[in-house]
Amino acid sequence: MHIHIFQDIVCPWCRIGIASLLGTLQEWQAEEVTLHYHAFTIDPYLPNEGVPFRVNMERLLGGKEQVGKALEYVTAMGQAIGLHFCFDQIKIRAHPDLAHSLLKLTPLAQQTSMLQTLQRAYFGLDIGNIEVILQIADIFGLDKHEVEEKLQSGRMAIYLQSDYELAEHYEVKAVPFFVINHSLIVTGAQTIPTFLQALKKVTCDES
Q: pLDDT digits over 7-23, tens only?
A: 999 999 999 999 999 99
Three-class SS state of 177: strand
Closest to 16 in 3D by CA, of 148, 24, 50: 24
For 101, residues 6+ apart whose C-beta sits below 8 A from its C-beta are 133, 150, 151, 156, 159, 160
What burial letters (b/e) apply to 128-154, b meaning 16+ CB within 10 Å? Answer: bebebbbebbeebebeeeebeebbeee
pLDDT number for residue 29: 87
106-133 pLDDT tens trace: 999 999 999 999 999 999 999 999 999 9
Instruction: Check pLDDT > 80 for residue 207.
Output: no
Mean pLDDT of the chain: 96
pLDDT number for residue 206: 83
Number of neighbouring beta carbons within 10 Å of residue 207? 5
Instruction: Check pLDDT > 90 for residue 38.
Output: yes
pLDDT number for residue 173: 95
75-87 pLDDT tens trace: 999 999 999 999 9
Using a 10 angstrom Cβ sphere, with 0-12 exposed, 13-18 middle and 19 or more buried, the burial of residue 100 is: buried
